[in-house]
A and B are shown apart, each in its own frame.
Chain A
Amino acid sequence: MIILSLFTKTPMKLKLKYSLPFLLQVFLLSSCMNEAAVEPNTHRGNFESLWKIIDTRYCFLDYKNVNWDSIYTVYSAKVDTVKGELRFFDMMGNMLAELKDGHVNLYSDFNESRYWKWFTDYPDNFSLSLIKSSRYLGDDYLIAAGFKYKQIANGQIGYIYYESFADGFSDNNIAYIMNYFSACKGLIIDVRNNGGGSLDCSKQLASYFFQQETITGYIRHKTGYGHSDFSSPVAMKTPAHKTIQWQRPVVILTNRMSYSATNDFVNRMKQSPLGIIVGDKTGGGGALPLSSEIPNGWLVRFSSSPMYDANMVSTESGIDPDYPVSLRPNDEATGYDTIIERAITLIK
């Protein structure tokens, strides 16, 4: 303003007349742009900070009918009685476990809190030693990027075990694999015990099994402090790959540990005209997690952007298979994977 007034030849009184209201306005405006208060780095401050992050940014409080205020009352009473960092960390981890969400974790330099009951309370429906037996992968399987693959059932079925969507792959990898399986009647993609990874990998892998771009889901994100303040849904599309297309049946094997990006892949494949889902219900994890920090530097990861299937049904609780099949102990004892065998039957 001082600089501006240099241009003019108005009397000083006139300058003040116009300058003061302007400066006052700037001052008043500046008072309404305050940063959020940061709690002190004490047990109480860290507890309040963590509770508030979940209260304002976690996306499933209403969906899961969690009474977060009630949880505050319960755990707030414990804060001042907890002694030591380890016990304080456990208490904070227990509070987060009330959300029953595998995407919610607290990370410190000495521990990571987690909630695993979404798969530990259910049958495994998977045996690594079984799929590594000579009937399936054996010792002479091929490896391309994160894929372990081999022809099984007398060369009639292509079998791929994909352990993590964090393992990236290229079109070349897929082209070689599909060429190797070109004489097979169908393909099995085993994503049991695949805990997720990249959504880009999920989309890319699904794209080889679509003939046209398809809306396979939606995503939203938290926009306000209210528990149900969400943005409008945005379509998540699965494209059809331009040059690599698998044209025969493809069976996806799932269990409760098929989680997060794997859950997203299963959701996409459920809408593929070639896809058949066999096994157990997936573990869920139908939200994109983000992270934040509390004053003592611990990191908290939490679900932030809920994802839905094409009918706007949340995928957080998991995706039901087309053919529910469990691993029978008798089969396992005789070297048969019930779920793979059912997939072979479906393809044949």
Chain B
Amino acid sequence: MKNYCILLLTVFFSSTISAQNMEEQKYLLTTHTNTFGLSTLSFIDPYLSPLTYSGIGIHYESVSRRFLSPENTSISMQSKLNLEAAVTENPATTSSMNYLGLNYSWGLHYHLRPREGLRLLAGALLDADLGIKDVPRNVNNPVNMDMNANLNLSGIAMYDVFFWKRTFTLQLTMQTPVMGCMFVPGSGASYYEMFELGNLKDAIHFSSLHNKRGLNSAFTIAVPFNRSVWRFGCGLNLLNYSANDMVFRKNEFTFTVGTTFDMVTFGGRKNKAPRNFITTNN
């Protein structure tokens, strides 16, 4: 009987301690936002043509953001992947330019909370950009590649608005390149000479505000529904850069729609999921 009581007490206290641990344990949530966008855009790429090509594009963007640790809610880490495809034409519609682009960025933001419902994030992002512009009818210069890496300044403002018993989050993001390096071929250099003969002289350039300026901004509103949060918005991406006596431009206006969700990730030896979390891995 005595042993039976000890066993009961042990089970009771151990479960209480376990419950308390669950409450005290902090878990890092990763906020994922996946958006799709439709954009109107224009390019000037003097290597391919002196004319402005304009048209439409589609986007997919995936943004993940989480704090560095559960104890530190001042600095968050963000990674962003952006995929884009576009079809544009010259003003006389005699030639088309196809564009495929990929951009990946990673960086940190410092969080300020000056008042209730307002969060201001400021930080820096490193990004790598890879794009291909293709004008099929061109001779020996049908393709130009956008290859660059940048250090960007980034700022985000988020403000919660209470309306209809719901919380809508307005978000303004702004990003601008500060310095980096970029690939820009000489206006008379062929890809044959650069890549077949290996002459990349004057093709790699240091970039900073003196030869590259841009502003990638977006305004979104997060609308909570019963089981999901949808994000609607628009974006403006302006980019100018110059090298080898050529000035390149990309202007883009985008409408976006997507979803935002928070998730907690478990994995590895030290970060196992609690037993009351159901996973297919068990």
Segment at the A interface, from B62-70, B184-192, B255-263: B184-192
Residues from chain A with Cβ under 8 Å of B31 in the complex: none
Q: Judging by beta carbons under 8 Å apart, are B137 and A297 in contact?
A: no
Of all chain A residues, the one with the shortest Cβ separation from B247 is A35
Q: Judging by beta carbons under 8 Å apart, are B139 and A289 in contact?
A: yes
Residues from chain B with Cβ under 8 Å of A295 in the complex: 51, 91-92
Q: Judging by beta carbons under 8 Å apart, are B188 and A293 in contact?
A: no
Give the distance to chain B from A308, nearest Cβ to Cβ, in Å: 13
Q: Judging by beta carbons under 8 Å apart, are A29 and B120 in contact?
A: no
Q: Mark A258-297, 1 if CB is under 8 A from B, else 0.
A: 0000000000000000000000000000001111110111
Q: Judging by beta carbons under 8 Å apart, are A290 and B51 in contact?
A: no
Give the distance to chain A from B89, nearest Cβ to Cβ, in Å: 9
The answer to whether the Cβ of B206 comes within 8 Å of any Cβ in the partner chain is no
Q: Judging by beta carbons under 8 Å apart, are B153 and A221 in contact?
A: no
The answer to whether the Cβ of A153 comes within 8 Å of any Cβ in the partner chain is no
Q: Mark B122-152, 1 if CB is under 8 A from A, else 0.
A: 1000000000000001111100000000000
Contact of A38 among B52, B186, B202 (CB under 8 A): B52
Give the distance to chain A from B206, nearest Cβ to Cβ, in Å: 15
Q: Judging by beta carbons under 8 Å apart, are A221 and B186 in contact?
A: yes
Segment at the A interface, from B21-29, B163-171, B208-216, B219-227: B208-216
Of all chain B residues, the one with the shortest Cβ separation from A233 is B199
Contact of A4 among B112, B122, B201, B240 (CB under 8 A): B122
Q: Judging by beta carbons under 8 Å apart, are A304 and B93 in contact?
A: no
Give the distance to chain A from B91, nearest Cβ to Cβ, in Å: 7
The answer to whether the Cβ of A305 comes within 8 Å of any Cβ in the partner chain is yes
Q: Judging by beta carbons under 8 Å apart, are B209 and A297 in contact?
A: no
A-B contact count (CB 8 A): 131
**Given A26-B213, A290-B141, A291-B140; A221-B92 close (CB under 8 Å):** no
Give the distance to chain B from A223, nearest Cβ to Cβ, in Å: 6
**Given A33-B211, A297-B92; A236-B122 close (CB under 8 Å):** no
Complex Cα distance, B138 from A2, in Å, reads 44
Contact of A296 among B92, B188, B193 (CB under 8 A): B92
Q: Judging by beta carbons under 8 Å apart, are B110 and A231 in contact?
A: no
Q: Judging by beta carbons under 8 Å apart, are B92 and A223 in contact?
A: no
Residues from chain B with Cβ under 8 Å of A59 in the complex: 188
Complex Cα distance, B212 from A29, in Å, reads 10
Chain A residues 287-333 with CB under 8 Å of chain B are 288-293, 295-299, 301, 304-305
Q: Mark B75-113, 1 if CB is under 8 A from A, else 0.
A: 000000000000000111111000000000000001010
Q: Given known contacts A36-B246, A224-B245, A299-B94, what 13 new A-B pairs fall within 8 Å (CB)?
A: A6-B112, A6-B122, A29-B213, A35-B249, A38-B51, A221-B188, A221-B193, A222-B186, A223-B244, A231-B189, A231-B199, A290-B139, A304-B188
